Structure 1
Amino acid sequence: MKTILRSGAVAAAIGVGLSLAVLPAVPAGAAAAIRVPCNDITALKTAINNANSSANAGRIVLASHCTYNLTAPDNPDDGLPEITGNVTITGRDTTIRRAPNATQDFRVFHVVSGGTLNLNSLTVSGGANAGRGGGIFNANGTLNLNRTIIKGNQASQGGGIFNLSGRLNLDRSTVERNTATFGGGINNNGGGTVIMKGGSLLNNRATGNGGGFTNAVGNASLESVSVRRNTAPVGGGLHNTSALRLTSSTVRDNIAVSGAGISNDSVGSLGSALTLVRSLVTRNTAITAGGGILNEASPGDVTLTDSRVVRNRPDNCSPAGSVPGCTNPTSTVTPPTKQLPPPAKDSKSRK
């Protein structure tokens, strides 16, 4: 039996045409999907509350090619109810955003301890939070993103996503044009785990460190990921103070004062480990040093396996000799003296 939440006859009529093709396979005995008409925020909140309390995993299907505008928060910090259960939200070219005319700052999603949120074929945008996670805050929960875009959000830490002691999985997803002080795109902290396969970290900006991604305290793995055109004073593309592994990934065209491609640093005596396997760091630009990789970790290691760090300015790796297998050009390249440029105004994301 289908469950349809409706706020009126017109909304119900719209809901009939929702996309069914993007629904994942449904296990036997699972509850029926809750279908929410286009931009019916009341129905969406009710659907999340019902999914949270479902004995089985709660499944929500949104209208395809639709934008759900959140004009006011559901609670002081979040646009939608907190995720406490096992909730799956599926769309098709569907956006959930903090509306441009919203008068209050709030993030879009908040996954609390023990909660699981699965997002399929959605865009999450416009979120704003003075603390953690402009788009999504995953606090000791599980967040799975499949072909999802996190775009145009802002916060102090983790402009797009803040992952605190939780598990974050991104599959063929894009994090772009988000802004924060630390971790413009993603901030991983508190021993959290991040696994990103496919997709990109694109045009994000930090005013502190980690334009694309800050791996502060935790484990992170990027496989077949493109890290491009991110900016920050330190670690334009990536900033690592823990354990970070790149496999078959590209770090390119990022800009920073130091550590334009990747900054590898440490917190106290914890140390850090940066490993690149079949990966490429190229055409990144630093104003001072570490055009490709800045290795300031002590203790700390950078390991290159079948990987190249080439054609970065003003050097490939700094300090010289700190990264085995990475050499600098014999001729000096004068770095630019101008200030960091703002992120690009727009770019089309691959889904």
Structure 2
Amino acid sequence: MSLMSWRSRRRRGQGPGGRGRSAGRLCAAAGVTAVAAMMFPAPPAHPAGVVNVRCSVPDLVAAIDAANGSPGADTLRLARRCTYKLTVPDVANPANGLPAITSEITIEGNGATIARARSAPAFRILLVESAGSLTLEKITIKGGRATDCPGAPAPPFPPGIVCGGGINNQGSLTVNHSRVIDNVATSTVYAEGGGIDTDGSAATVYDTEVSGNTADYTGLAPSAAAAGGIANDGPLTVKDSRVHDNAVHVTAGTDSVASGAGITSFAQVEIEGTSISHNHTSAPGGTVRGALTNSTSPPNTMTVNETVIRANVSSASDGTVLGGGVGNGGVLSITHSRVIDNYAISRNGVARGGGISLGAVAQLTLDSTDVHGNTASAPDGGTALGGGLINGLGGTVTADDSHLRDNTVRASGGGTALGGGLFNAVGPTTLNNGTVTGNRAGDGGGIYEESGTVTLNDTLVKRNKPNNCAPPSSVPGCVD
């Protein structure tokens, strides 16, 4: 079974999950709770069920243990702007810095930070178990370093899969007005979700910064890493947030796959009012998918609204890049958004889609969206296709009131550079009431139709260099 088929089993609830381990954790946590209660009695609760937690890690641990053991919902109010610096892992769960969340808990941060100390051993900050529900308000989660992946499959899969450097969610997670920064998931087997990995029943990220996080595969055999910022295997909503400066790396020369430095989705996701910017995905000698990746197997549904996907870089020298900004293998709708100034770079390799790249079974709908200023570049004799958009493997594109403008394809050293605005092959692309203007390529400055069909309905193709469409007469209605 491949890692992707394991993902499918997890989504269907068939995979060997963590229920047995969760029960063990609960039992172990119960013992620790008793000891913690004697050593560090929790502060008295207010009548409304709010517990004020002093600026003390032992007090925070005791408060979480007490909340896990109490009936109903609990709210923990942290000391204003305190840094709760974790120097040792949780006793019951050494892969985590704090006790696993097993009940309904809200943590009101008041601007506080929960961080792993730099000198501490590796552990993530927070785990939400399948029975748990965690809401974070006005808090920073920083410096976690995951060492395991809750719910990962049993043998024959090798041990060592790692996910969720800052937070791993197996239940319900809401992150409001917060920051998830500088967390890491690194593995010699497979790594995912440097900032957040969510596999549970629901996750919402609202008005939150997810930045500086990394997913890193460091092994020597072909494998993968995904989602420097956020990975989801369950329903996810990201709204009014900033996902920036995250990274995904894989070992050079291992023919490995690096996906979605900003967000990688393996399940349904809704993104609204969000900025996904300055993320970097790298796989020298391997394959890269865009900063925002919608998984290919099975096809997943992703909706993006009023969102900016900007200045992301996907690079794979001697390899293949599938989207500088967006790599779509499922069903993707982008509305009232901008995909701008992204780069797909493959020195002596293949760069496909500076802005957006589609897979073979993918469906893309653009509505009132600007795909602008993106670049597909293949220096030293490589192949670059589709500066703005590539539908080159048989997917389906429908664009309404949308614009492909000022995108560039270039390939120095005698390479191939086709389709500055759009490269199309095999599948159909329909452009309605839009424009394809100011794009540049070696040939097909506006549109290059290798095969398949490109249909223009009230769409203006002009001022592209060196020509509007290629080969000649391939696109009905396109005139040079």
TM-score normalised over the length of structure 2: 0.60
Are 1:276 and 2:340 counterparts? no
234-243 vs 254-263, greater mean Cα deviation? 234-243
- Paired positions, count: 303
For structure 2, which runs of at least 5 residues remain unmatched after alignment? 1-36, 148-161, 186-190, 216-224, 250-257, 283-287, 316-320, 346-350, 377-386, 414-480
* Alignment partner, residue 20 of structure 1: none
Contact 2:136-2:174 at 8 Å conserved across structures: yes
| Separation of aligned partners in 1, 2:406 and 2:163 | 43
- 8 Å CA contact 1:230–1:236 kept in 2: the answer is no
Residue aligning to 2:390: 318
Q: Is the 8 A contact 1:45 1:80 kept in 2?
A: yes
Q: CA deviation at 1:232?
A: 0.8
Change (3 A) 1:253 1:237: same
Residue 230 of structure 1, CA deviation:
0.5
Matched, 1:134 2:208: no
Is the alpha carbon distance of 1:59 and 1:332 closer, same or farther for their aligned partners in structure 2, counting shifts above 3 Å?
Answer: closer
Task: Give runs of aligned pairs for residues 113-262 of structure 1, distance below 5 A.
Answer: 113-130=130-147, 131-139=162-170, 141-155=171-185, 156-180=191-215, 181-189=225-233, 192-207=234-249, 208-216=258-266, 218-233=267-282, 234-241=288-295, 242-257=300-315, 258=321, 259-262=323-326
Once residues 307 and 328 of structure 1 are traced to their aligned partners in structure 2, the CA distance between those partners, rounded to angstroms, is 9
Q: How far, CA to CA, are the matches of 2:145 and 2:356 in structure 1?
A: 31
Q: Aligned with 1:144: secondary structure? A: strand
- State the shift of 1:252 in Å: 0.3
* Shift in Å, 1:135: 0.2
Residues 317 and 323, structure 1, Cα contact 8 Å, conserved in 2: no
Aligned partners of 2:277 and 2:310 also within 8 Å = yes
**Cα offset, 1:235, TM superposition:** 3.1
Where 2:410 maps in the other structure, the secondary structure is coil
1:21 maps to what in 2?
A: none
C-alpha separation between the residues in 1 aligned to 2:270 and 2:133? 20
Give CA deviations for 1:251-291 in whole Å, capped at 9, x if unaligned.
Answer: 000000321100012xxxxxx10110111101101111211
Aligned counterparts, 1:77-88, within 5 A: 77-88=95-106
Which of the numbers 23, 45, 58 marks the counterpart of 2:61? 45
Bigger Cα displacement from structure 2, 230-239 vs 41-50:
230-239
Moved more, 165-174 or 117-126: 165-174
What SS does the corresponding residue of 1:324 show, helix, strand or coil? Answer: strand
Query: How far did 1:100 drift?
Result: 1.1
In structure 2, the CA distance between the partners of 1:243 and 1:108, relative to structure 1 (3 Å rule), is same
Q: Which amino acid aligns with 1:212?
A: G
SS in structure 2 opposite 1:78?
A: coil
> Would the alpha carbon gap of residues 48 and 335 (structure 1) be closer, same or farther in structure 2, given more than 3 Å must change?
farther
Please list, as runs of the form range in 1=range in 2, the aligned pairs for 1:48-67 lying within 5 A after superposition.
Answer: 48-67=64-83
The higher radius of gyration belongs to: 2
- 1:90/1:336 Cα in 2 relative to 1: closer, same or farther (>3 Å)? farther
**Percent sequence identity over matched residues?**
34
In 2, distance between residues paired with 1:332 and 1:144? Answer: 40
For the structure 1 residues 249 and 328, does the alpha-carbon distance in structure 2 shift closer, same or farther, using more than 3 Å as the test?
closer
Task: Say if 2:374 and 2:406, in contact at 8 Å, map to a contact too.
Answer: no
Contact kept in structure 1, 2:388 and 2:407, CA below 8 Å: no
Change (3 A) 1:149 1:336: farther
C-alpha distance in 2, partners of 1:138/1:59? 19
* 3-state SS of paired residue (2:268): strand
In 2, the alpha carbon distance for the partners of 1:336 and 1:255 equals: 19
In 1: Cα distance, 2:53 partner to 2:125 partner: 17
CA distance in 1 between partners of 2:268 and 2:331 (Å): 10
- Structure 1 residues 336 and 149: alpha-carbon distance in aligned structure 2, compared to 1, 3 A threshold: farther
Determine the C-alpha separation between the residues in 2 that align with 1:332 and 1:170. Answer: 34
Q: Deviations over 1:56-106 (max 9, x none)?
A: 21111111111100001002211000000001111222100111111x110
> Match of 2:175, SS?
strand
Query: Residue type of the partner of 2:114?
Result: I
Distance 1:274 1:263, change over 3 A: same
Aligned to 1:346: none
Please state whether the residue corresponding to 2:130 is helix, strand or coil. coil
Greater relative CO, 1 or 2 (CA 8 Å, sep 6+):
1
Q: Would the aligned equivalents of 1:30 and 1:56 in 2 still touch at CA under 8 Å? A: no
What residue number does 1:344 align with?
Answer: none
Distance in structure 1 (CA, Å) of the matches to 2:369 and 2:230: 24
| Paired residue secondary structure (1:323) | strand
Task: Kindly indicate whether the alpha-carbon contact (under 8 Å) linking 1:85 and 1:116 is maintained by their aligned counterparts in 2.
Answer: yes
Contact 1:292 1:317 (C-alpha < 8 Å) held by counterparts:
yes
Q: Give 1:110's match in structure 2, choosing from 122, 127, 136.
A: 127
Q: Deviations over 1:185-212 (max 9, x none)?
A: 01112xx011111011110011211100
Task: Rate the CA distance shift 1:331–1:69 in 2: closer, same or farther, 3 A.
Answer: closer
Question: Displacement, 1:313?
Answer: 0.5
Structure 1 residues 184 and 331: alpha-carbon distance in aligned structure 2, compared to 1, 3 A threshold: closer
Alpha-carbon distance in structure 1 between the residues aligned to 2:165 and 2:407: 43
Structure 1 length normalisation: TM-score? Answer: 0.81
Query: Taking structure 1 as reference, are residues 44 and 6 closer, same or farther at Cα in structure 2, changes over 3 Å only?
Result: farther
1:32-75 Cα offsets, whole Å, 9 max, x none, are x111111x111101100111122221111111111100001002
Contact 2:175-2:204 at 8 Å conserved across structures: yes
Distance 1:311 1:123 in 2: 34
With over 3 angstroms needed to count, the CA separation of the structure-2 counterparts of 1:72 and 1:336, relative to structure 1, is farther
2:354 corresponds in structure 1 to 291
